Chains A and B, each alone.
Chain A
Amino acid sequence: MFNWLSKIVAFYVEGFKSMRLGKKLWAIVFIKLFVLFAIVKVLFFPNLLKENFRNDEERSGYILDQLTHTDISIPNKGEKNGTH
């Protein structure tokens, strides 16, 4: 078991060590992930429903309000506004 594990670890370690272009690519990947998760996500992209409501019941209620608080007036049944 340990033999297998150490072989897998060595595989990755040697693989990373022998990279040339890959080192630059990994640097880009890490910088990008840092920018995305530590800056963009934290500063600009809060999960509005998760952060503003305590539970799913409150979230449902809020969305139902959004879906139903519209200026809706049902025209008379006979009217077909816009039809030709």
Chain B
Amino acid sequence: MEHIDALTDWSRAQFALTALYHWVFVPLTLGLTFIVAIMETIYVKTGDEWWKKTTQFWMGLLAINFAIGLATGIIMEFEFGTNWSNYSWIVGDIFGAPLAIEGIMAFFMESTFFAVMFFGWNRVSKKFHLLSTWLVAIGSNLSALWILVANGWMQHPVGMTFNPDTARNEMADFWAVLFNPNAYSKFLHTISSGYVLASLFVIGISSWYLLKRRDIKFAKRSIVVAASFGLLTSLFMLTTGDDSAHRVALNQPMKLAAMEGLYKGEDRASIVAFGVLTPDKKPGDEKETFLFSFEIPYALSFLGYHKVDAFVPGVDDLLFGNEKLGIMSVAQKIERGKEAVTALKRYKEAKKANDMPAAEAARKVFEANSEYMGYGYLKKPEEAVPNVPMTFYAFHTMVGLGTLFIALFFMILYAAMTNTLEKRRWLLWGGVISIPLGYLAQELGWITAEVGRQPWAIQDMLPVGMATSNMASSNVMITFWLFAILFTALLIAEVKIMTKQISMGPEGGHHV
């Protein structure tokens, strides 16, 4: 049993490492492609060569980020096949189609329009070049759609049926998978967060130029574009974040309870704007949840369910059940899950013995309980509760940073429009510091999304312990460290090449 726990932990750690490093590169590409497209549009509209130079400089940094980040996501596919083979088989049909579309789209887009974008200056018409830049921006973002559709499905599986003969989920309704509310709210929130990060990136580097009193015109122009784009997209991100939280409330109430540190459910629930959790708080105990907290009344009910008097279930309600509100306990779900798994076993054996009446009877029991199948693999009810402190702090820090970014965009844009940027050096330093903070917010978003849904690889259907392959944990441990070294080397390469380009400035370093 210890072997299985270690294997699951190492497999999770490795996947988390890969995903978090991969996500260092992706959001900047998603956002920076749009910023360069906007800058190039201004160039084509005005014919001002300054804008061409500005576009080319940021395009150079985009190229560095793209090249270093390229194929870092493919490692996750390796891991699916080796460390997560049970999971890969069980989700096969659902994951296969979106990932195949992503691969094809990415290949065609990158091999054609990326080439025109980088090689095409002075070789194709201005308008065709501009079209290519926009297509790269749109295509990169659409490419992200498919992987996020797959992730959305794992969080809220719809549009499929589990076939007990093949042990696979089979696509029953492609459109239900594509238009899964969890998927598109996740997609919009994720890409808009990429736009915010890219805006911070442009503002931060431009602020550094202003602090160094160099490339003033270039920096100010870049800041106006990035702050305007950042302000608009961060407000959009706020609405998509609200929709994401609403979806979590409806489909993953345990995750919402963990995000908010809510142990005992309540009507007219408050949202904790800021708080420190009691360190040794456990589900079911009578300890206070927070050492101290600042709360906004009614906000959680309203944001979660769009009603100020809605009941928001807490960890205890979901874990131990709440008969009055019709919430089933995890222990009851475990019981139903075990019935599903046992029926599946009986079905398999009856089919093998060619005893069709027994197989049919077992299948009926399985189908009646299959909704809870995943719970059948939990050893105790408490395993259904994610790591509350990690989810709570990750979520609240992300939201706090997001709010800070909106304020920063507003102040920077105001200072740029009133031509007072250079006087406000504290604001420029704020811009520089916002780059690492933007990356931190990105990673915390994924930690919230993925830690908060534990123990599930597929919500309610497959816990992570059952999703892993039957292999030695030492193998996973070795590759964990291998990837840690590889990714760190890539990150160092990116930072080194980028800082060199940035220090050369728009006059010297824009040629890709």
Which of A's residues lie within 8 Å of B, judged by CB? 11-12, 14-16, 18-22, 24-26, 28-29, 32-33, 35-36, 40-41, 44-50, 56, 59-60, 63-64, 66-68, 70, 72-75, 77, 79-84
Which residues of A are found within 8 Å of B120, using beta-carbon distances? 11, 15
Whether the pair B82, A46 counts as a contact (CB closer than 8 A) is yes
8 further A-B contacts with Cβ under 8 Å, apart from A45-B81, A48-B85, A66-B470, are: A16-B119, A21-B509, A25-B512, A28-B68, A64-B344, A67-B167, A80-B335, A82-B381
Question: A44 and B118: CB pair below 8 A?
Answer: no
Q: Which 3 A-B pairs have the closest CB atoms?
A: A15-B119, A68-B345, A25-B67
List residues of chain A with CB within 8 A of the CB of B74.
36
A33 to B73, CA, bound (A): 12
Those of B433-482 within 8 Å (CB) of chain A: 466, 469-471, 475, 478-479, 482
* Chain B residues closer than 8 Å to A24, beta-carbon distance: 497
Instruction: Give the residues in chain A near B75, CB-CB below 8 Å.
Output: 36, 40
- The contact string, 1 if C-beta is below 8 Å from chain A, for chain B 150-185, is 000000000000001111100000000000000000
| Cβ A83 vs Cβ B67 within 8 A | no
> Across the interface, which residues of A come within 8 angstroms of B85, CB to CB?
47-49
- Contact status of A84 and B284, CB under 8 A, knowing A14-B123, A49-B85, A72-B376: yes
CA distance A74 to B365 in the complex (A): 13
Say if the beta carbon of B339 comes within 8 Å of chain A.
yes
In the complex, chain A residues whose CB is within 8 Å of the CB of B341: 67-68, 70, 72
Q: Within the complex, which residue of B320, B342, B475, B511 is in contact with A83, where a contact is CB–CB below 8 Å?
A: B320
Q: How many residues of B contact A (CB 8 A)?
A: 65
Does A63 contact B90, Cβ atoms closer than 8 Å? yes
Q: Does B490 contact A (CB under 8 A)?
A: yes
- Which B residues contact A (CB, under 8 angstroms)? 60, 63-64, 67-68, 70-71, 74-75, 78-79, 81-82, 85-86, 88-90, 115, 118-120, 123, 164-168, 284, 316, 320-321, 329-332, 335, 338-339, 341-342, 344-345, 348, 376-377, 380-382, 466, 469-471, 475, 478-479, 482, 486, 490, 493, 497, 501, 509, 511-512
Q: A48, B167: Cβ atoms under 8 Å?
A: no
Contact B81 A48 (CB under 8 A): yes
Contacts of B82 in A (CB 8 A): 44-48
Closest B-chain residue to A66, C-beta based? B86
The chain A residue sitting closest to B82, CB to CB, is: A45
Docked-complex contact B335 and A19, CB < 8 angstroms: no
Nearest chain B CB to A42 CB, angstrom units: 10
- Tell me which residues across on chain B come within 8 A of A82, comparing CB atoms: 320, 329-331, 380-382
Partner of A72, one of B71, B284, B342, B469: B342
**B331 and A81 contacting across the interface, CB-CB below 8 Å:** yes
Nearest CB in chain A: distance from B347 CB, A = 9
Q: Report the minimal beta-carbon distance from B133 to chain A, rounded to whole angstroms.
A: 15
Q: Are A49 and B88 in contact (CB under 8 A)?
A: yes
Is there an interface contact between B71 and A83, defined as CB atoms closer than 8 Å? Answer: no
Answer whether A60 and B512 are a contact pair too, CB < 8 Å, given A72-B341, A74-B338.
no
Alpha-carbon distance A18/B63, docked complex (angstroms): 15
A69 to chain B: closest CB distance in Å? 8
What's the Cα separation between A46 and B81 when bound, in Å?
7
Q: Are B89 and A59 in contact (CB under 8 A)?
A: yes
Structural contact, B329 and A29, CB atoms closer than 8 A = no
